[in-house]
Structure 1
């Protein structure tokens, strides 16, 4: 079997950042801080020894769970 044809299931932090379009800094901070008020919840991750990995199916579900916006609504009477 040719190893170049294997589809990856677990992504590194750098691969995950590129896949979801967020920074590595976002991934690190959200992993360390956990769920905080008014912050985007980080995608689920796994640890294998010291290595942090993100599973493709978790990333796809995390992306699907975010609302799709057609436009932003002004809140609190502030004008854009």
Structure 2
């Protein structure tokens, strides 16, 4: 099984947000888990998907309860 990683810029493009937003979320303890290697930040694909799953909603007032847990 190959573990895939996304750079900050790749994740920002995936979610159509600014890389700066991801930086702010890291400082605030929000967003998906990440790995810091020196000055480089990467996100494991599985952590990104878990974060996305934990933020899935069926309506404006009720989040979906995800099986397998989220971040």
Q: TM-score, normalised by structure 1?
A: 0.62
Q: Deviations over 1:8-64 (max 9, x none)?
A: 711111101112333212101011222xxxxxx211100112210011110011000
Moved over 4 A (4+): none
Query: What TM-score does the superposition give when structure 2 sets the normalisation length?
Result: 0.68
Q: 2:23 aligned with 1:23, yes or no? A: no
Q: Which runs of 5+ in 2 are unaligned?
A: 62-71
Q: Which runs of 5 or more structure 1 residues have no equivalent in the other structure?
A: 1-6, 35-40, 74-80
Identify the residue that residue 63 of structure 1 maps to in structure 2.
Answer: 52
- Name the Cα RMSD after superposition: 2.1
Equivalent of 1:10 in 5, 16, 39 = 5
Q: How many residues align?
A: 60
Report SS of the residue matched to 2:42.
strand
Q: Which has the larger radius of gyration?
A: 1
Question: Within the alignment, does 1:50 sit opposite 2:39 as a pair?
Answer: yes
Q: Matched residues in 2 for 1:63 and 1:21: separation?
A: 14
Partner of 2:68: none
